[in-house]
Amino acid sequence: MAERLEAAMTPEAWTLDVPFALARVDDGRTGVVRNDEIRLLSDDELGAKSLNAFLAAPDWGRLEAVAESADAWRPVDSVRLAAPVEPRQVLQTGANYREHVIELVAAGLTQDGDRSPEEARAFAADLMDRRKAEGEPYFFIGLPACVVGVDEALTLPSYSEQHDWELELAVVIGRETYRISAAEAEAHIAGYTIVNDITTRDLVFRKDMKEIGTDWYRSKNAPGFLPTGPYLVPAPFVDPGDLGIRLSLNGTVMQDSRTSDLLFDIPTLVAQASQTMPLRPGDLLLTGSPAGNGMHWGRMLQDDDVMVGSIERLGSQTVRCTTEEDT
C-alpha cells in the first residue's frame, strides 16, 4: 500500500466534488476516480491507446458508464499516484491575479517613499485595470520533466533556502489548439487540475547581469518543482471562472482567493497562448498564483513542511517537503 500523507478535511481542504475524475498510477495506467475509489482502465475501456490520445477527443460519456459500474474498484490510497497528465509542453502565466499584483506594485511604490499606501494602491489598481483592458497575458515556459505526482515528496535543493509555493489552477488542453479565438477556447479544453508552481526566489533575477532580467529556468525547473494533481477533472464538470483556491502550510492558511480575481480569464489565456505555438493534447497551461506566497509572509519552505493545496471541486493535493541532504 502506498504511504501517503493525507490532507485533513479542514475548511481549507476541498474534497473532489464531481461525478468522476481521471488519475494515473505510477505504472502509467489511467484510472477513473469517484469518491475515494479508483478503477484502472484498459485501453478498450478508455477508448484510446494513451491518455493524451483520449484527451484529443474525450468521450466523457464512455467514462461515465465505467464510473457507474460496480466492479474492480479499490481505495485510492491503495495505489501510488503519478501526475494525472503527460504534457509535452508546460506554459505558465505570470502576474495574473489582480489583487496579488496590486499588492506587489503598491508595496514597491510605498517603499520608494513617493506615495502613501493609499495612493500607491490606487495607482496600482488603475495600472492593472488598464493592463486588463489594453494589455496581454505574460507567459513563460516550464519543463515537463518537473511535473510529478503528489505522492512524490518535494525535495528542496540545497543550493538555496528560498524555495516558495505558488498554488495554481491549471488548464489541460484537449483538441490541438493553434491560433484560435477566446470564443473557441472552451472546445479545446479537456479539463483542469491543481499545480503547485515551486519557485526559488533568490534565483529569479540574474545577479551577474541584471539587464538580462529573469531566469525562470534556474528558479522554477528543479526536479519535482511542479507537483500536479492528484486528479484531472473533466471540463464539463467545472466552471473555472469562480473557484476557491487555498493553500495551507502546516495547517495555517497562506493563500486564499478565487479565480474570479484572474486578470485575464481562461479563454483569453488559452487563445493568446495558442497564437505562438500549437498546444497539444495533455499540455498544461498554468493560470497564475494568488497572493500569499512565502515572500509575502517572510517564510520559505523547510524540511518536513506539509502543504495542502485545494481548489474548489477539484479536491486537494498534499505535498511533503524534504531537504536534499535527507534523500
pLDDT digits (tens, 9 = 90+) for 4-36: 444 444 445 799 999 999 999 999 999 999 989
Exposed/middle/buried for 218, CB within 10 Å: 0-12, 13-18, 19+? middle
- Looking at per-residue pLDDT, the higher value among 110 and 232 belongs to 232
pLDDT band at 158 (very low <50, low <70, confident <90, very high): very high
Q: Are 160 and 203 in contact (CB under 8 A)?
A: yes
User: H or E element: which one contains 176?
Assistant: none
Max CA distance (Å), the chain: 68
Q: What percent of the chain has pLDDT over 70?
A: 93
Torsion angles phi and psi, residue 261, rounded to 5: -90, 0
- Residue 100 is predicted with a pLDDT of 77
Q: Is the pLDDT of residue 248 over 90?
A: yes
pLDDT band at 125 (very low <50, low <70, confident <90, very high): confident
- Residue 121 is predicted with a pLDDT of 78
- Residue 2 is predicted with a pLDDT of 39
- Looking at per-residue pLDDT, the higher value among 165 and 124 belongs to 165
What mean pLDDT is reported for the chain?
91
DSSP one-letter code for 6:
P
The structural domains of the chain, with segments of one domain joined by +, span 83-94+138-326, 97-136
Residue 122: partners with Cβ closer than 8 Å, 6 or more residues away: none
Cα(1)–Cα(80) distance, integer angstroms: 8
Work out the average pLDDT over 287-292.
Answer: 94
Closest CA to 173 of 165, 163, 162, 184: 184
> Could you tell me if residue 275 is left (phi over 0), alpha (psi between -120 and 50 degrees) or otherwise beta?
alpha
pLDDT band at 327 (very low <50, low <70, confident <90, very high): very low
- Residue 12 is predicted with a pLDDT of 55
Q: Kindly provide the residue ranges of all beta strands, DSSP E only, lying in the chain, ordered along the sequence.
A: 21-25, 30-34, 37-40, 74-75, 81-82, 90-94, 138-142, 147-149, 154-156, 163-164, 167-173, 189-196, 199-200, 226-228, 233-234, 244-249, 252-258, 284-286, 306-311, 315-323
Least confident of 37-41, 80-84, 108-112, 276-280: 108-112
Least confident of 26-40, 116-130, 231-245: 116-130
Q: What superfamily would CATH give domain 83-94+138-326?
A: Fumarylacetoacetase-like, C-terminal domain (3.90.850.10)
If DSSP codes are grouped into helix, strand and coil, which group holds residue 264? coil
- Residue 183 is predicted with a pLDDT of 98
Q: Is the pLDDT of residue 126 over 90?
A: no
Give pTM, 2 decimals: 0.92
Cα(310)–Cα(150) distance, integer angstroms: 12
- Residue 264 is predicted with a pLDDT of 95
Work out the average pLDDT over 132-138.
Answer: 89
What is the edge-to-edge ordering of all strands in the sheet holding 21-25? 74-75, 37-40, 30-34, 21-25, 81-82
DSSP one-letter code for 240:
G
DSSP one-letter code for 262:
B
Q: How many other β-carbons are positioned within 10 Å of the β-carbon of residue 192?
A: 25
Work out the average pLDDT over 179-195.
Answer: 98
